[in-house]
Every structure is written in C-alpha cells, then in structure tokens.
Amino acid sequence: MTKFSVKQEDKMGCSVACTAFVLNISYNESLKLFKNPLSAKTNGFYCREIAQVLKKSGLKTEYKYIKTSTIRKFIYNDFSIVFIKRCKRYPAGHYLVRYKNLWMDPWINFPKKPIQSGFRKRLPGKAVYIIRSG
C-alpha cells in the first residue's frame, strides 16, 4: 500500500495530520475525532488526546515519555508518532510519524507557507514522547 503524506491545515495541527496518516483518513476527518477541534488553531494537542482518538478508532495505543533506550527503540516502528522537544526551530515542538524507514512530516517546510508535507530521513529534533499503536 502506498501512503501519501498528510499536511497539517492548521498552525498547530501536526498531531491531527499524524493521526490522519495512522488512521488512513483525511486531515478534516481526523480533526472531527478530537474533542476540541479549535485547539488545532491555537495550542495543539497532547499525547493523551491523540492516544484517546486512536483508541476510539480501535487501535491498542499507549504513550510514554522517552527516558530509556528500551523505549527509544520503539520510535523506529511503523506508525509510531513522536513528539520532538520544543526548541528554537520548533518553539511549540512538533509531531511526526515513522513509516517505512522515513518520517512523515506534516509541515516539512516549516515555517514557510504554503504548508507542505513530505518524508524525511531523520528527525529534525530530539524525540521526547512516543505514541505507539497496534
């Protein structure tokens, strides 16, 4: 199956785009699954909220802070969503999804507009949280 990248359509919608990618649905369909869709425009979503959406969609899901190498190795499994640490380049942090040895980035040309999504070989920052589904 060929997977196409999903671009975020809101300023803080990287979590929504990553969820859409995992569930193989559109950005707008994914946005409707979140309790407060307006958060995609203002302050984004936490791992807990993403995990809840994935669970409601029938996936066994957990999220964890990445503090050991045991947990870190799981970021390389397909459909693992990671949150990269807030930094100068990504002041609010950023979510990406692992797929076929690449990272699906919902705003690969950040902060430029129009927003474009795509795949990259390496994470653009340090992964600090993981959301695993199966």
Angle at 49 between CA 42 and CA 14, to 5 degrees: 50
Preceding amide of 111 cis, omega within 30: yes
Domain ranges of the chain: 14-133
Calculate mean pLDDT across residues 52-76: 94
Calculate mean pLDDT across residues 102-123: 97
CATH, domain range 14-133: 3.90.70.10
Do 52 and 131 contact (CB within 8 A), yes or no? no
pTM: 0.96
C-alpha span between 10 and 4 (Å, rounded): 18
Q: Convert the pLDDT of each residue in 38-57 to its tens digit.
A: 999 999 999 999 999 999 99
HSE on the CB side for 47, CA within 13 Å? 23
